[in-house]
Amino acid sequence: MRFARIWQRLLGVERAVVEGVEFDSEAEVLVARVRPRKGASRRCGRCGRRASWYDRGEGRRRWRSLDLGPVKAVLEADAPRVNCREHGPTVIAVPWARHGAGHTRMFDDLVAWLAVHTSRTAVAQLMRVAWRTVGAIVTRVSRDASQVGDRLAGLRRIGIDELSYKKGHRYVTCVVDHDTGRLVWAAPGRDKATVGRFFDLLGPERSAMITHVSADGAEWIADVVDQRCPNAVRAADPFHVVAWATDALDQVRRDVWNTARGGRGGRATEASKALKNARWALWKDPDDLSQAQQARLDWIARTHPRLHRAWALKEGLRWVFQLSRQGLPRLAVTALDRWIGWARRCRIPAFVDLARRIVRHRNAIEVAIEHRLSNALVESVNTKLRLITRMAFGFHDPHALIGLAMLALGGLCPPLPARTRPA
């Protein structure tokens, strides 16, 4: 293999010419001078259409490339502008990088893959980039990948959900496909206009094909769904219904804990400390409890019967959806009605309120039960979405959070560079 060919392979620029390679010892970086092949037509960087020469642009430009061993590497090339009929003067398209990017495609793809598969610190340290840069990269990789194919084709049963980030001050609206468990769409905001934009994109014909829409009972979703999906029934999202119960339980736990330390601002006592530690035991699926957590739960049963009753109520509601998941919808509906009766009489205010709320949404919950929308696939997407929100903290831009979510849960994650199939 000729020397220049080896460099092409090493740098991943098979569609370009390597003019020369040197080491910039000041910046401690390997610089490879490249140019598009002779005869490659000049194209607009934004739309890829052929266009006429405009000017030299800002001269030479660098793109961070994959490291070569321990050494950072960059590609350097001219970046002239063409005069696009649609976009006006625009920097030309280069085969090795996305438009407007300071990193090569391979670098972008590796960062995106790592952001999906490893931790925040691992990506930033391994690739020697700031977390904010990771945000910019996942945004453009996901935007690029979403141009290919039609992710909204064949949608029948969807879930519309809101994600809060920035400590609950900002929101993103998400649409999940109940049948594939994939995230299909997400956008910043939580209002009628945002949900409306999804249905605009889906179009009236495909909206008419939607049979079920699950949501958390918010009116801003329900109104738009009623308008746009003439053939859909609305269902409650079991994930949210169980979350309501978990919130009610937490309210009871806080009250009991406050009493144990003698009111707000009181000192921590043995009992209040033990209650604080019991938090996880109360939240977890009883089948997943460790021995120590089981012991804590037994202790609660003996010492704080009211809190234990609240816990049993939360579990009872979860059980309703487990029955539905096991294909026992009739039994699940019976269990739901018994649960409502039980919660109404329980004399724990948080759960009496919850019972009222459940009654208000009873029909939508029944739809979810009968159509088995309490699907494990969607539950896991919901849980993962919330983990991603935590990971995306520090991105400063909702599009980066959306990009990461679409890569991880929308099936848009690119393969590792130079590997067509996941190994």
- Which residues contribute to the site for Zn ion (CB under 5 A)? 44, 46-47, 84, 86-87
Dihedral angle sign, alpha carbons of residues 404, 406, 409, 412: negative
Give the residue among 407, 411, 422, 417 at the shortest CA–CA distance from 143: 407
> In the complex, what is the shortest distance from the CB of residue 84 to Zn ion, in angstroms, rounded to a whole number?
3
DSSP 287: G
Burial of 81 (0-12, 13-18, 19+ CB in 10 A): buried
> In the complex, what is the shortest distance from the CB of residue 91 to Zn ion, in angstroms, rounded to a whole number?
11
> In the complex, what is the shortest distance from the CB of residue 101 to Zn ion, in angstroms, rounded to a whole number?
16
- Give the nearer residue to Zn ion in terms of CB position, either 54 or 283: 54
- Give the nearer residue to Zn ion in terms of CB position, either 22 or 86: 86
- Give the nearer residue to Zn ion in terms of CB position, either 47 or 359: 47
Whether residue 91 contacts residue 81, with contact meaning beta carbons closer than 8 Å, is answered with yes
> In the complex, what is the shortest distance from the CB of residue 88 to Zn ion, in angstroms, rounded to a whole number?
8
Distance CA 283, CA 133 (A): 36
- Give the nearer residue to Zn ion in terms of CB position, either 86 or 337: 86
- Give the nearer residue to Zn ion in terms of CB position, either 52 or 291: 52
* 127, 133, 139, 140 alpha-carbon torsion, rounded to 10°: -80
- Give the nearer residue to Zn ion in terms of CB position, either 82 or 186: 82
> In the complex, what is the shortest distance from the CB of residue 94 to Zn ion, in angstroms, rounded to a whole number?
14
Residues 399, 401, 402: CA angle, nearest 5 degrees? 60
**One-letter amino acid for residue 364 of the chain:** A
Give the residue among 380, 404, 376, 411 at the shortest CA–CA distance from 390: 404
Question: DSSP 3-state assignment of 182?
Answer: strand
**72 membership: H or E segment, kind and range:** strand 71-78
**Tokens 């519309």 label which residue?**
160
- Give the nearer residue to Zn ion in terms of CB position, either 100 or 394: 100
> In the complex, what is the shortest distance from the CB of residue 389 to Zn ion, in angstroms, rounded to a whole number?
35
> In the complex, what is the shortest distance from the CB of residue 59 to Zn ion, in angstroms, rounded to a whole number?
21
